[in-house]
Amino acid sequence: MQDRGWWFAGALSGALVVMAGAFGAHALEGQLAPRLAAAFETGVRYQAWHTLALLAVLAWRASHRLAGQRLVLGLWVAGVLLFSGSLYALALTGVRGLGMITPLGGVLMLAGWLALAGCVLRARAAS
């Protein structure tokens, strides 16, 4: 994916964060069991932080292009889809089996942060 595609993914994710947050705060208020409401809110929070991080890496990439940055972006996008997506689906449907997907998304997000650490180390070694 070229950077324009990553920027689009980040912008779309940011828009979805706002929509999901508003939906959770207004349409779902009082409609979900506290455990499911907390799961939905966790999905929104993790998606928001990873969207901001994705945009920060893209801004860094604009001036310092490193091969590992695309891996970071891909891991975070996949992680958000699986982690936040499974929490949204779990909260809205109550299907407990969806919770089995959540840890995989979390592992992908964590792998993205570790890949980012590798990028930073490579950037330091190159300068």
Whole-number Å distance between alpha carbons of 112 and 8: 19
Angle between the N-to-C axes of helices 34-63 and 102-126, in degrees from 0 to 180, rounded to the nearest 10? 20
Mind listing the pLDDT tens digit for each residue in 44-103?
Answer: 999 999 999 999 999 999 998 888 999 999 999 999 999 999 999 999 999 989 989 999
CA distance 33 to 70: 38
Give the number of other CB atoms < 10 A from CB of residue 63.
6
- pTM, two decimals, is 0.94
Q: What is the mean pLDDT of the chain?
A: 94
CB atoms within 10 A of CB 90: 22
